Amino acid sequence: MQKPLEIQFRDLPRSEALESEIRDKVAKLEQFYPHITACHVVVEVPHKHSQHGRVFVVKVDIKVPGGEVVVSNESGEDPHVAVRDAFDAAQRKLKDYARRQRGDVKSH
SS3 content of the chain, % helix, strand, coil (to 5): 40, 30, 30
Please check whether residue 86 is in contact with residue 71, taking contact to mean a CB–CB distance below 8 angstroms. Answer: yes
Q: What is the 8-class DSSP label of residue 60? A: E
Residue 100's pLDDT is what? Answer: 84
CA distance 15 to 35: 28
Please check whether residue 108 is in contact with residue 89, taking contact to mean a CB–CB distance below 8 angstroms. Answer: no
pTM, to two decimals: 0.86
- Residues of the chain predicted below pLDDT 50: none
Please check whether residue 19 is in contact with residue 30, taking contact to mean a CB–CB distance below 8 angstroms. Answer: no
Residue 51's pLDDT is what? Answer: 63
Residues facing 40 on adjacent strands: 6, 61
Query: Which among 22, 12, 85, 19 is positioned nearest to 46, based on CA atoms?
Result: 12
Residue 32's pLDDT is what? Answer: 85
Residue 22's pLDDT is what? Answer: 95
CATH of domain 6-100: 3.30.160.100
